[in-house]
């Protein structure tokens, strides 16, 4: 066995090799002293071929690269769309559709003597003129309003038919009416007559015309509330006797008194009311129409509403 020069064993590997050599030598010397002359031969160990890295010859055809397999790329996983609850839009207070204007209720052709707010049964038509005559006499002697009774020429009871379908009710007599003893005979009266005859196609004698007050207020002033309270009972009895199918209130005093309201005529006109249960229309007083001709259009609309309910023919507009 070759000696291992200890001088050369300067690195850790050499020192280890020298140590093994000394062990082997010690072992052999121990065997020799025990009488051993030969060592058994160790069996052949199969050569272990280590796989050497394959070196392709230079002239060899380069191995065809396997076709690259285009692996289908996994479809990008679409991030799930999270349907976020949309914030509820702020509640918008929608203006309610304006309620369509309530058309005047179709008047179911109220009977001439149909039910009204009166508790008494209607008089026979033949008895009405006489009943009105009795009431007229009573009014003629009335002095409930001392000032009016003192200043009047006469009371102004009414004009027209005791069996009229339509009753016009105004405010109070003026100077002309006070002299004539008949309501609506002055300029305003002439306009009302035209509205009745030319507009509605009726005769003045076909309707009944009365006022809230039966006596003329001096200087054409408005009736005092006390005067209205004193006199309106006569009007109620006139309505009770005549029992008209329709009533047309002329002006704010008549409308305010019988409809018990302070609303302006602009708010009252154009729709139906009831007086003693009788279908009633309110419109401008003829005296107001004389001062405000522009309001005639609305007054004519009110009359047409009345005419439709009464079944009267509305004349076509002239071209
Ligand atoms: S206004 Fe009427 S209540 Fe007054 S005195 Fe004349 S009729 Fe009588």
Confidence class for position 25, pLDDT limits 50, 70, 90: confident
212 Cβ inside 6 Å of ligand 1: no
| Pairing, β 272-275 against β 278-283 | antiparallel
* Ligand 1 atom with least separation from CA of 234: 2
- Answer whether 217's CB lies under 8 Å from 172's CB: yes
* Ligand 1 atom with least separation from CA of 139: 7
Confidence class for position 319, pLDDT limits 50, 70, 90: low
149 Cβ inside 6 Å of ligand 1: yes
* Ligand 1 atom with least separation from CA of 152: 6
Q: Which residue has the higher pLDDT, 4 or 258?
A: 258
* Percent of all residues in the chain with a pLDDT value above 90, rounded to a whole number: 60
- Whole-number average pLDDT of the chain: 79
Task: Indicate if the pLDDT at residue 75 is higher than 90.
Answer: no
How far, in Å, from the CA of 216 to the mean position of ligand 1? 9
Q: Give 228-277 pLDDT, tens digit per residue.
A: 999 999 999 999 999 999 999 999 999 999 999 999 999 999 999 999 99
210 Cβ inside 6 Å of ligand 1: no
Task: Indicate if the pLDDT at residue 47 is higher than 90.
Answer: no
Task: Write the CB contacts of 305 (distance below 8 Å, at least 6 apart in sequence).
Answer: 104, 270, 272, 281
Give residue 318's pLDDT.
60
How far, in Å, from the CA of 145 to the mean position of ligand 1? 5
Task: Indicate if the pLDDT at residue 109 is higher than 50.
Answer: no
Residue with the two structure tokens 């009007």: 235
Q: Can you tell me the mean pLDDT for 92-102?
A: 46
How far, in Å, from the CA of 223 to the mean position of ligand 1? 11
Q: Give 147-189 pLDDT, tens digit per residue.
A: 999 999 999 999 999 999 999 999 999 999 999 999 999 999 9
Task: Indicate if the pLDDT at residue 49 is higher than 90.
Answer: no
228 Cβ inside 6 Å of ligand 1: no
Q: Is the dihedral of CA 170, 278, 126, 131 positive or negative?
A: negative
Choose among 315, 258, 254: nearest CA to 288.
254
How far, in Å, from the CA of 150 to the mean position of ligand 1? 10
Q: Can you tell me the mean pLDDT for 15-32?
A: 74
237 Cβ inside 6 Å of ligand 1: no
Q: Give 273-300 pLDDT, tens digit per residue.
A: 999 999 999 999 999 999 999 999 999 9
- Answer whether 148's CB lies under 8 Å from 214's CB: no
**Using CA atoms, how far apart are residues 77 and 75, in angstroms rounded to an integer?**
6
155 Cβ inside 6 Å of ligand 1: yes
* Ligand 1 atom with least separation from CA of 172: 1
Q: Tell the residue nearest (CA) to atom 2 of ligand 1.
A: 231
- Which pTM was predicted? 0.66
How far, in Å, from the CA of 228 to the mean position of ligand 1? 8
Q: Which residue has the higher pLDDT, 56 or 114?
A: 114
128 Cβ inside 6 Å of ligand 1: no
Q: Which residue has the higher pLDDT, 97 or 127?
A: 127
- Answer whether 286's CB lies under 8 Å from 254's CB: no
Give residue 48's pLDDT.
40
Mutate to test the pocket of ligand 1, among 141, 144, 151 (most ligand atoms within 8 A of CB): 144
Domains in the chain: ranges and CATH: 126-310 (3.40.470.10)
Least confident of 12-16, 87-91, 166-170, 255-259: 87-91
């Amino acid at each position: 066995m070759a000696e291992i020069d200890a001088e050369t064993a300067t690195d850790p590997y050499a020192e280890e090799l020298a140590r093994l050599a000394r062990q082997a030598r010690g072992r052999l010397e121990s065997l020799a002293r025990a009488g051993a002359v030969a060592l058994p031969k160790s069996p052949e160990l199969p050569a272990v071929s280590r796989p050497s890295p394959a070196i392709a010859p230079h002239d060899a055809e380069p191995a065809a690269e396997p076709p690259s397999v285009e692996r289908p790329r996994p479809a990008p996983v679409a991030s799930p769309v999270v349907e976020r609850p949309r914030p509820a839009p702020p509640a918008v207070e929608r203006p309610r559709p304006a309620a369509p204007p309530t058309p005047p209720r179709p008047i179911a052709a109220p009977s001439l003597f149909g039910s009204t707010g009166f508790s008494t049964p209607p008089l026979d038509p033949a008895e009405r003129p006489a009943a009105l005559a009795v009431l007229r006499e009573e009014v003629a002697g009335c002095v409930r309003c001392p000032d009016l009774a003192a200043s009047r020429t006469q009371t102004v009871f009414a004009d027209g038919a005791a069996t009229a379908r339509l009753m016009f009710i105004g405010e109070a007599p003026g100077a002309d009416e006070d002299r004539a003893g008949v309501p609506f005979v002055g300029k305003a009266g002439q306009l009302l007559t035209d509205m009745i005859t030319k507009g509605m196609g009726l005769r003045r004698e076909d309707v009944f015309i009365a006022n809230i007050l039966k006596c003329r207020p001096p200087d054409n002033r408005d009736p005092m509330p006390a005067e209205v309270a004193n006199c309106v009972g006569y009007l109620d009895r006139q309505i009770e006797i005549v029992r008209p199918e329709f009533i047309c209130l002329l002006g704010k005093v008549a409308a305010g008194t019988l409809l018990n309201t302070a609303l302006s005529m602009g708010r009252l006109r154009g729709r139906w009311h009831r007086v003693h249960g009788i279908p009633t229309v309110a419109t401008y007083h003829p005296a107001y129409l004389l001062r405000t001709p522009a309001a005639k259009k609305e007054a004519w609309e009110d009359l047409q509403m009345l005419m439709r309910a009464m079944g009267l023919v509305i004349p076509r507009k002239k071209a």
